[in-house]
Amino acid sequence: MPYETIIGLEIHVQLKTKSKMFCGCPNEAEPKEPNQNVCPVCMGHPGVLPTINKQAVEWTIMSGQALHCDIPTESKFDRKNYFYPDLPKGYQISQYDKPLCGEGYLEIKDDGETKKIELERIHLEEDAGKLLHPDGANYSLVDYNRASTPLMEIVTKPDIRAPQEARVFLQKLRKILLYIGVSNADMEKGQLRCDANISLRPEGAKELLPKTEIKNLNSFKAVEQALLYEVGRQTEVLDAGKELHQATRGWNDDLSETVEQRTKEGEADYRYFPDPDLPPLTFTKEQLDKIKQGLPELPEERRERLEKQFGLKSEEAEMLVDDRAVGEFFENVISEAQEWINSFEGKDEVLSEEAQKVIKQTFNWITSPLFKLLNKEGISLADCKITAENFAELMAMIHEGKVNSSAAEKVLEVMFAKGSDPSQVVEELDLAQLGDSDELSGIIDKVIADNPGPVEDYKAGKENALQFMVGQVMAATKGKADPQVAGEALKKKIS
C-alpha cells in the first residue's frame, strides 16, 4: 500500500555566547579540562540565584525574526523536572507555554520547487552536561562544562514529506544561523543536533500512525539516511499486517540502521512549572525592533542583490553566498578594485563591458583556483591568508596582461601559502609577462633563425608550424610570453 511520509524536526542549536545561560561561567566550545567551567549556580547548589543571559535571549529572538516567527511581547522560563546524572539541578530550565518565538516558516528549494516549511516555535533552554563511559570501566564519568550553556530549540510543524527535504531544510537553516552569527552550528561537534519525528499514513487518510522519534542525528547524511531507513522499516511492518507502536530510536552509523531505545515519557511526567527564581520577560515593540535592526543580510537576500548588482547568474551568486565569508571576500575584492574598474568608464546603472569582464574574472578566480586551494588544504576562506587587497591587485595584473594565467596560478599559490603581495611574488619568481618588448623581439628573431623548416612550412600555409614556433617562444621565455602577442609578432616578422 502506498504511504505518505510525515516528518517534523526538533533542532537544538548551541549559542556561542561568552558565558553560560544563567551564570558567569565561560561558554567555551572546547574547554581543555573536564569540569573547569563550573560554579555553584550551574551546579545547582541550594540558595543560589540564576541570572538570564541577555545575549542568548536576543539571539534567539533574532533567529526567530530571520525565520519569520511571531515574536510575543511576553515570555517566561519553566522548570522541566527529571533526574539524570548529567543534570546537576534535577531539573532543566526551559520554556513551556510561552516560548520566545511563536510560529514562523522557512522556504526551501528542492528539485526546483519552492516549499514553505512552517515552524511551531523556538525556545531557549539550558544544555545538560556530558556523560563519559571509559572503555572497559564499570563506572561512568560526568563533565559539567556544558551544563547550563544556552541551547536554542527550533521545532518545525510536521510539514516535511521526504527524507531529502529534511536534509535540505537543515542545510538551509544552518546557513542562516551561520549568517546571523549566533552559533558555529558544527554538527560533528554537537553544536547543531537534530531529532526527527517520522510517521506514515496510508495515502488519503487523515489519521497519523504511531510515530518514531529518532534522537541525536549528528550529520546531514545521518538525518537523510535514518529517515530513509525508517520509511522502509515502518512500511515493512505495516505491509506485513503488523502494528506500529510509538518509539524512540537511535541511528547507528556503522550498521546504517535505527535501533529502538526507550519508550518516550509523556509531557506530564516532566511536571513543568514556572521557574520561581526567574522573572517573566516582557519586551516593548522598540526593543524587538532594535534587535531586528541587528539582523545581517541573509543568504537569499544577498544572492538576489549580487545577481542584480554584478550581473551574475543565479547559480553563480549561489556559489558566493554559500559561505558568508566568500561573498564578503568577493565584494571586498570588487570594492578594492572599484577605482580601477571605474576608470573603464563604468556607469552606476549599467556596468561597462570592461568592468563586467573584471567582475567575471574575479568570480572565476575565486570559485576555481582559490576554491581548489581551499579544498586541498581543507580550510575555509575565513582562515585564508590572502587579503582582498592583494587578491584585487592580482586581478588587475591579470587583466592588464602583466602576468599570464598560468603564472598567475603560481603567484596565487605563493599568496595562499604565505599571504604575500602579488607584485612582490611576481618579481621574486621572475614571472612578469613579456609584453611586446625588445627582449621578446630578440627571442623571436632567434626562434625564426633556429627553425628554417617550420618557417618555410608556415609560408607554405601550414598553421601548425606557427603553433610550433609559439611553443618555442614560450619555452625560451619560461612561459612568460603572452602566446597571442608572440604569435602576432612571429607572423609579422615572417611575412
- Name the residues that contact Zn ion, by CB under 5 A: 23, 25, 39, 41-42
Q: Which of residues 34 and 102 has its CB atom nearest to Zn ion in the complex?
A: 34
Shortest distance (Å) from residue 52 CB to Zn ion: 14
Backbone angles phi, psi at 204, to 5 degrees: 90, -20
Q: Which of residues 42 and 481 has its CB atom nearest to Zn ion in the complex?
A: 42
Q: Which of residues 42 and 469 has its CB atom nearest to Zn ion in the complex?
A: 42
Shortest distance (Å) from residue 40 CB to Zn ion: 7
Q: Which of residues 39 and 494 has its CB atom nearest to Zn ion in the complex?
A: 39
Shortest distance (Å) from residue 33 CB to Zn ion: 15
Shortest distance (Å) from residue 46 CB to Zn ion: 15
Q: Which of residues 25 and 61 has its CB atom nearest to Zn ion in the complex?
A: 25
Shortest distance (Å) from residue 77 CB to Zn ion: 16
Shortest distance (Å) from residue 184 CB to Zn ion: 21
Shortest distance (Å) from residue 59 CB to Zn ion: 19
Shortest distance (Å) from residue 35 CB to Zn ion: 11
Shortest distance (Å) from residue 43 CB to Zn ion: 7
Q: Which of residues 51 and 282 has its CB atom nearest to Zn ion in the complex?
A: 51
Which region, left, alpha or beta, applies to residue 103 given φ > 0 means left and ψ of -120 to 50 means alpha?
beta
Helices 463-476 + 452-459 axis angle, to 10:
140
Burial code of 393-431, b = ≥16 C-beta within 10 A, e = fewer? bbbbbbbeebbbeebbeebbebbbeeebbbbebbeeeeb
Shortest distance (Å) from residue 22 CB to Zn ion: 8
Q: Which of residues 20 and 215 has its CB atom nearest to Zn ion in the complex?
A: 20
| Whether 334 contacts 310, CB under 8 Å | yes
The DSSP element (H or E) to which 340 belongs, if any, is helix 338-342
CA-CA distance, 307 to 318, in Å (whole number)?
9
The amino acid that residue 132 corresponds to is L
Q: Which of residues 39 and 298 has its CB atom nearest to Zn ion in the complex?
A: 39
Residue indicated by cell numbers 561561567 = 25
Closest CA to 322 of 338, 305, 303: 303
Could you count the other beta carbons within 10 Å of the beta carbon of residue 215? Answer: 18
Q: Is 203 helix (H, G, I), strand (E, B) or coil?
A: coil
| Whether 110 contacts 125, CB under 8 Å | no
Residue indicated by cell numbers 599571504 = 419
Q: Is 231 helix (H, G, I), strand (E, B) or coil?
A: helix
Strand partners, 381: none
Q: Which of residues 41 and 61 has its CB atom nearest to Zn ion in the complex?
A: 41
Shortest distance (Å) from residue 53 CB to Zn ion: 11
Q: E strands along 86-238, which residues? A: 91-94, 104-110, 113-126, 130-132, 141-143, 150-156, 192-202, 212-217
Q: Which of residues 50 and 163 has its CB atom nearest to Zn ion in the complex?
A: 50
The DSSP element (H or E) to which 251 belongs, if any, is strand 247-252
Shortest distance (Å) from residue 39 CB to Zn ion: 3
CA-CA distance, 112 to 103, in Å (whole number)?
25
DSSP assignment of 81-113, as one string?
Answer: E---TT-TTSEEEE-SSS-SB--EEEEEEETTE
| Whether 73 contacts 283, CB under 8 Å | yes
| Measured CA angle at 27 (ends 123, 49), to 5 deg | 70
Q: Which of residues 23 and 469 has its CB atom nearest to Zn ion in the complex?
A: 23
Q: Which of residues 25 and 481 has its CB atom nearest to Zn ion in the complex?
A: 25
| Whether 54 contacts 24, CB under 8 Å | no
Shortest distance (Å) from residue 36 CB to Zn ion: 11
Q: Which of residues 20 and 167 has its CB atom nearest to Zn ion in the complex?
A: 20
Could you count the other beta carbons within 10 Å of the beta carbon of residue 186? Answer: 14
